[in-house]
Homo-oligomer: A and B are copies of this chain.
Amino acid sequence: MNDVKYVYTFGDKKAEGNAKMKELLGGKGANLAEMNLIGVPVPPGFTITTEACAHYYKKGKQEVLQLLDSQVRAGVRSVERDTGKEFGNPDNPLLLSVRSGARASMPGMMDTVLNLGMNDVVVKGFARKTGNERAAWDSYRRFIQMYGDVVMGLKPENKEDDDPFEVIIDELKEERGVKVDTDLTTGDLIELCSRFGRLIEKRTGRAFPQDPWEQLWGSVTAVFDSWMNARAIHYRALHGIPADWGTAVNVQAMVFGNMGDNSATGVAFTRDPATGENVFTGEYLINAQGEDVVAGTRTPQQVTKEGSQRWAKLAGVPEEERRTSYPSLEEAMPGLYYELDEIQQKLEDHYRDMQDLEFTIEQGKLWLLQTRNGKRTGQAMVRIAMEMIDERMLNEKEALLRVEPGKLDELLHPVFDPEAEAKAREITKGLPASPGAATGQIVFFADETVEWAQKGKAVILVRKETSPEDIQGINYAKGILTSRGGMTSHAAVVARGMGKCCVSGAGALHIDYNAKTLSVNGSVFKEGDWISLNGTTGQVFEGKLPTRQVSLSGYFGRLMGLADQYARLKVRANADTPEDAFTARNFGATGIGLCRTEHMFFQGDRIVAVREMILAEDEAGRKDALAKLLPYQREDFEGLLEAMEGLPVTIRLLDPPLHEFLPNTEEAIQFMADDMGIPVERIKEHIEELQEINPMLGHRGCRLANTYPEISAMQVRAVLEAALNLKARGVKVDPEIMIPLTTVGNELKMQRDYIREVAQEVFKERGDSIPLKIGSMIEVPRAALVADNLAKCADFFSFGTNDLTQMAMGFSRDDVGKFLPIYLEKGILHADPFRTIDQDGVGQLVQTAVKRGRETKPELMMGVCGEHGGDPASIEFFHRSGLNYVSCSPYRVPIARLVAAQAMVKEGANIREKVLAGVDSC
């Protein structure tokens, strides 16, 4: 174990690591090494590997620190050599920075400790050496403050409190009667250091460490510890990052941007991260340390002159004032600017991607502290990728891989006007269940939502949680806000399907249906009050915010065209209405992979007929009620098939248990009784009769069709009559009938025979016919296992991976909230299996069914409908599994098209995403 190399040094244009070693050195460390190798000036330092961190969690602190001791000491010596300074030597002190750096950038972990190596003696030597006493004490003050915070854990005692160090600063400023930090004298800074030390001792019972080595080990340990803090765990859970990756630690010689007017510090992007425009852009401050640029206490200046002039125009600063008070780096330090500009071009060319840089100028010498691929908006991401093709920086395949599918979402949903959003009062935050922005008046009931909306009002439907009864309300609302339920709750799933903004599980909300009020943190909102939801962030704002529809830009269209050239996997959409169908076509869907016919049952008068059917005592009564539904369904299908003219439309027969169509509140039951003229008691009896202990595994899907065949008869008749009506009008149609919840072959056979009988009847009546495909959902584990048999009776398979996941894993989607968060936190699972398919388990069933189905029918068409059809990682898996298409919500179609292309490119290049450590790693 002692032979393992845990420390990699870099500096003076040499490095032991390089950019390819991200797994071992973290992103930051690998790039620091790489920059050295390509001749970019970087303060010397070393990286402690991620393996050391993993080891820390396996073997414990003592053992790892022992293992690291000699290598870290050697690393420090190497920095001392490169800098000619000495760690802890007051006469020529080497100061260090310590930064965490995981494989993937991870907010939530400890970020940075600066000026490490300072102590009561060194500060004086540093002052002597630099001749800048004020800067020395300011650096020391900052070091104590940072170390106290991130290493010794001095946080505000209550979340409402301010940072305890800032409180001391404010007190001193009041004592001294000064307004801004810069008015504090050197003496004041010395006083601050002393007060900070006392605070630390009082709060922690330990003195601020004077020994530089103790400081260093403390900081390294703090970085390791921060890998497992709650925020980091939460972030990993959210992003599917395995806990055993660990973080690297970067230790680097300090350089100072606060050494006077020939010093500066800044951040820059090689292209505009908001728009993607190919212009160098960035901000800097003279005589400052990095944190000052981002802290917002001073107004940062622009790096380029052009940027500076744009900024001044927006900010209303006259050119004269700009040039004197806020000059660009290009104007203030032209030589260094050109050096920086050259470096940024070099870095972008080298990394072939837009770079996010950190730089510091120390007394006229430029240092790069970091480079990394820059975060960017979805819009910028697409533009940069497309333009880099034109610039021959990337080929088409590379450009396709460069686009993050999930970020396309931003381009497909309305957003708030950013300025208005920045000023708005956030009242609470929930889960970002369905992206987009919505503003409207609060309404608490689905039926009232419909009424309000029909009067032309914009409504936000606010519920504790929603149920299938609320579908119409959801459809009419601008956005949905719920106090319960997760990312896969009913509200979330339905809203995503409709491309409707939704914030779910906002637990701080207290909803009182009787009083029609919503209270949160002491504020009370009534029905009719305006609120705004950001479904992309989960934020809920008070009042009405203006929204902006993003139009699909030219770059985006070009990206989609390119994707379709490469993709093998087709993309269909889940759509229940002609409106959804038009949206889907517009986004490039090649068909409808799932039309949930039951959604049609809730609209208007239909629900009355549906309920009549359910309450009917016999088949004759059911048939009477179904006869009333027939014209509605026919009309629905006519609209849908016409909207998709010529493209396949997969229509799933009735799936949910019948009790979902009955009311579930006293009021609604009373209303139904009055409306239908039948006793309340009879309705209640029926509701009780239909009650199930585990409805998900109950009387639903084709079990309904096989026990009440008259229901599917009506639906099939409606589909075929609609299709024949369209055919008569010269519209091409391609309907496919899909049997849900098939478990045994006999079910499928019986339904298929029955459907064909009905079809023959309709064809005979009409004297005309159409080809009709009949297929099966594969959503019960057993169905996947006997797929070779099912294939004999099926023209196609469609994987219902939601239910397949529920049954294969034994996870009720509605109840998983009780333990899934803990499972993600503890690393038992790496991702919510309802969001990203569990390839090892559920995926096996998919692949088994594909294999066996194709053994029977080599050309059997197979697709996926359900939430996973819109999830990038899952789509890639479906591509690899040999499916023909995925079907997802219309708003996910472009994302799926891109992923399909990426999957093909990766297949060609034999690229396989790094697989997470398995969840079955016994």
A residues whose Cβ falls under 8 Å from a Cβ of B = 692-699, 703, 706-707, 741, 743-750, 779-782, 785-786, 789-794, 803, 806-812, 814-816, 818-819, 822-823, 826-829, 838, 840-842, 844-845, 918-922
Contact = CB atoms under 8 A, between A and B. Distances in A.
B697 A812 contact: yes
A790 B692 contact: no
A352 to B, nearest CB: 38
A842 B844 CA distance: 15
8 contacts: A694-B815, A699-B818, A703-B818, A707-B819, A746-B827, A746-B920, A746-B921, A786-B840
Contact of A922 (B692, B741, B748, B808): B748
A844 to B, nearest CB: 5
A806 B697 contact: yes
A810 B819 contact: no
A699 B814 CA distance: 11
Given A746-B921, A789-B922, A919-B744, A697 B781 contact: no
A566 B803 CA distance: 44
Contacts of A819: 699, 703, 706-707
A790 B819 CA distance: 21
B920 A745 contact: yes
Contacts of A781: 781, 807-810, 841, 845
Copies in the complex: 2
A814 B744 contact: no
Contact of A814 (B694, B749, B829): B694
A239 B525 CA distance: 64
Nearest to A689: B818
Nearest to A694: B812
A744 B841 contact: yes
Contacts of A803: 810
B826 A809 contact: no
A513 to B, nearest CB: 15
Contacts of A789: 918, 920-922
Given A694-B697, A782-B808, 19 more contacts: A694-B806, A695-B815, A697-B810, A698-B812, A699-B819, A706-B826, A707-B819, A707-B822, A745-B920, A746-B922, A747-B828, A749-B921, A781-B809, A785-B840, A785-B841, A789-B920, A789-B922, A794-B922, A803-B810
A692 B695 CA distance: 11
B698 A815 contact: yes
A821 to B, nearest CB: 10
Among A748, A792, A811, A838, residue most surrounded by chain B Cβ atoms (within 10 Å): A811
Contacts of A919: 744-746
A920 B750 CA distance: 11
A398 B815 CA distance: 53
A853 to B, nearest CB: 12
Nearest to A780: B810
A826 B750 contact: yes
Contacts of A741: 810
A275 to B, nearest CB: 44
B782 A842 contact: yes
A707 B824 CA distance: 11
A854 to B, nearest CB: 15
B697 A823 contact: no
A60 to B, nearest CB: 15
Nearest to A658: B818
A809 B838 contact: no
A470 to B, nearest CB: 16
Contact of A743 (B694, B747, B810): B810
B744 A829 contact: yes
A660 to B, nearest CB: 11
Nearest to A788: B920
Contact of A706 (B703, B791, B828): B828
B696 A786 contact: no
A780 B806 CA distance: 10
Nearest to A692: B815
B922 A793 contact: yes
A786 B697 contact: no
A695 B694 contact: yes
Nearest to A789: B920
A809 B822 contact: no
B809 A920 contact: no
Nearest to A790: B922
